[in-house]
């Protein structure tokens, strides 16, 4: 029961995105596959891509709309336990060179025993990109870790809050640096002369961001609780 509820929520969210998203990806559809034999394969013949499918009528439609790719939309689910997938492993991303809206209508109206439903794919644009992101090096720079964790996607949802306090225990902190000015919730001790590592960690966590200086931090609206712990050799 839970998996069907979550699957319903998924498609409701997709439908809401249809109502409010400003645009959709051209030539792309989300397809919920009921019958695995309806998953097409592709053969390249020179410059031409030939669609192959067990159902000839379906193959004809996919060929008509120049479908050239049909891959799992969420391949990361392969690493999940079955009970945690909630049937989302059946959602595929279809790509075509034809009219995806007309194709979606065809599939939804005539091939319901093959595909449960198809949806247009919303086009998303990242909104939160601080002016100090990769400021020191546009190619890699000190923010490479933020690229790895897709921080810009997360910033569209939240950049943290001053009421969220992150505690850091390290060898010392340069709390008066411009990048850390005003970030302290509290400071304990901080008498060490070895403040390099602690300052670096604090900057990653909550450096002032979008200020045209230094680096961006992951939770730049958060406050920091500094606690010095001397390095033990």
pLDDT digits (tens, 9 = 90+) for 192-221: 888 999 999 999 999 999 998 888 999 999
Q: Edge-to-edge strands of the sheet including 115-122? A: 67-72, 91-96, 24-33, 115-122
Over 60: is that where the pLDDT of 9 sits?
A: no
> What confidence score (pLDDT) does residue 140 get?
47
pLDDT tens-digit series, residues 10-62:
555 555 544 454 589 999 999 999 999 999 999 998 889 999 999 999 999 99
The angle that helices 56-64 and 100-110 make with each other, rounded to 10 degrees, is 160
Please state which of the ranges 1-10, 19-28, 116-125 shows the lowest mean pLDDT.
1-10
What percent of the chain is predicted at pLDDT more than 90? Answer: 56
User: Distance between CA atoms of 33 and 67, rounded to whole angstroms?
Assistant: 16
Question: Is 0.75 topped by the overall pTM?
Answer: no
Distance CA 44, CA 40 (A): 13
Sign of the alpha-carbon torsion through 142, 74, 44, 61: negative
Q: What is the pLDDT of residue 22?
A: 57
- Give the pLDDT confidence score for residue 21 in this predicted structure: 44
């Amino acid at each position: 029961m839970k998996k069907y509820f979550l699957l319903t929520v998924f498609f409701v969210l997709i439908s809401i995105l249809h109502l409010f998203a400003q645009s959709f990806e051209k030539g792309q559809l989300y397809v919920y596959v009921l019958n695995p034999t309806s998953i097409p394969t592709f053969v390249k013949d020179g410059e031409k891509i030939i669609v192959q499918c067990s159902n000839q009528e379906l193959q004809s439609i996919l060929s008509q709309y120049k479908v050239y790719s049909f891959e799992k939309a969420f391949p990361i689910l392969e690493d999940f336990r079955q009970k945690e997938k909630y049937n989302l492993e059946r959602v595929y991303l279809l790509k075509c060179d034809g009219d995806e809206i007309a194709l979606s209508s065809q599939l939804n109206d005539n091939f319901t025993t093959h595909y449960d439903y198809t949806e247009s794919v919303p086009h998303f644009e990242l909104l939160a990109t601080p002016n100090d992101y990769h400021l020191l090096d546009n190619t890699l720079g000190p923010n490479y870790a933020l690229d790895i964790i897709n921080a810009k996607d997360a910033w569209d949802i939240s950049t943290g809050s001053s009421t969220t306090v992150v505690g850091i225990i390290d060898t010392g902190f340069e709390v008066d640096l411009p990048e850390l000015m005003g970030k302290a919730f509290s400071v304990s001790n901080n008498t060490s002369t070895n403040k390099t590592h602690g300052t670096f960690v604090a900057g990653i966590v909550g450096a002032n961001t979008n200020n045209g200086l230094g680096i961006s931090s992951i939770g730049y609206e958060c406050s920091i609780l500094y606690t010095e712990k001397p390095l033990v050799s």
